[in-house]
Chain A
């Protein structure tokens, strides 16, 4: 079982600010790292799935990087908008356990 930790737990930013969150996981036994966006009253939706050290993925104003050697991933949001307000979850997949373990999430609030 991977121990996945996210920071910060919550974040308030002004519209237009850029922001980033951290996800850390044990570098041993790692297979894949997921990021999900979870809006209130909806289901989590996948943003990125990354497996290779140095992976960088981008979707619009949101991007993510992966460092498997040191066991962390960053999620960046450029020019935050109120509609970006959500909880952002990361999850690690362990190849040996075949389980996806989620962190507790970072709750982002973008103030207009």
Chain B
């Protein structure tokens, strides 16, 4: 089954404790991206990747890191999480950036 998977689905952590949210797709898509969703603000792009080893900042990259060592995986790293990073996070993939995005199930992160 074609899908985008994210783990964990729910995470409660404390300020400053490094965490990684994994994202994997099995559709051989070139383009992958991370979004955060906050009430009233819609989906905002954090980082995107056009291909392996190619990543670029989205609209809200501060406090996040990403890597794209393999085509299928695009982990999101929070080196020192803060409460303002409490949000719902979505990973998405697409054959091309302009094409239909396939979203993962979402990760709800709470930083206390």
Contact = CB atoms under 8 A, between A and B. Distances in A.
A58 to B, nearest CB: 16
Interface stretch (B11-19, B40-48, B67-75, B79-87): B40-48
Interface of A: 1, 31-32, 34, 36, 43-46, 49, 51, 89, 91, 93, 95, 98-105
A31 B42 contact: no
Contact of A43 (B59, B97, B103): B103
B98 A105 contact: no
Interface of B: 33, 35, 40-45, 48, 50, 56, 58-59, 90, 97-106
Contacts of A93: 97-98
Q: Is the interface of A mostly helix, strand, loop or mixed?
A: strand
A100 B97 contact: yes
A91 B41 CA distance: 13
B43 A98 contact: no
Contact of B101 (A46, A51, A101, A104): A46
A104 B59 contact: no
